């Protein structure tokens, strides 16, 4: 299955990128929030209860869990370098799921990766 396509291509027409400076916390574990993000460029860390569980880089996505199930943020995400992020709100997310099946597959792939990482941490 061609599960990965360049997400940056998919979102190249999205003008409303967010730039965050190195050291900035994008969101904090426990926060409410329904926006997910695609990393256009930059590096970030993902921490749960103060423990770093993952790093993020270009083309990665994060924040999809709260968008999908409306629960609080499960982790804290902090920019390690200056980053450019593409925010996807619920409307844009649902549009992509309906119109771009490969986007759905990409989100599932990322979640499967994460589940395997979590399994190893058990």
The residues of the shown chain that bind a second copy, judged by CB under 8 A, are 1, 3, 48-49, 51, 53, 64-65, 68-71, 74-75, 90, 94, 97-98, 101, 104-105, 107-109, 111-116, 118-119, 121-122
Residue number, 32 or 97, with CB nearest to a second copy: 97
CA–CA separation, 100 and 10 (whole Å): 9
Neighbouring residues of 104: CB distance < 8 A, sequence distance ≥ 6: 96, 97
| CB nearer to a second copy: pick between 22 and 32 | 32
> Closest separation between CB of residue 48 and a second copy, Å?
6
Q: Is the Cβ of residue 84 or residue 92 nearer to a second copy in the bound state?
A: 92
Which among 91, 80, 73, 76 has a CA at the least distance from the CA of 58? 80
| Start-end of H helices in the chain | 7-10, 64-69, 90-99, 101-121
Task: Pull the structure tokens for residue 84.
Answer: 């450019």
Min separation Cβ 23 and a second copy, Å? 24
Is the Cβ of residue 5 or residue 65 nearer to a second copy in the bound state?
65
| Rounded least distance, CB 65 to a second copy, Å | 4
- Measured from the CB of residue 25, what is the shortest distance to a second copy in angstroms? 18
Report angle CA 77, 83, 89 to the nearest 5 degrees.
Answer: 65
């Amino acid at each position: 299955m061609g599960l990965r396509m360049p997400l940056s291509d998919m979102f190249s027409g999205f003008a409303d990128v967010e730039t965050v400076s190195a050291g900035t916390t994008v969101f904090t574990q426990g926060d409410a929030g329904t926006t997910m993000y695609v990393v256009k460029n930059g590096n970030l860390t993902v921490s749960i209860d103060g423990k770093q569980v993952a790093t993020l880089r270009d083309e990665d996505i994060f924040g999809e869990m709260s968008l999908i199930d409306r629960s609080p943020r499960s982790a804290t995400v902090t920019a390690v370098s200056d980053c450019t992020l593409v925010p996807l709100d619920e409307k844009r997310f649902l549009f992509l799921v309906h119109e771009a099946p490969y986007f759905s597959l990409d989100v599932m792939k990322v979640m499967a990766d994460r589940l395997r990482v979590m399994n190893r941490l058990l």
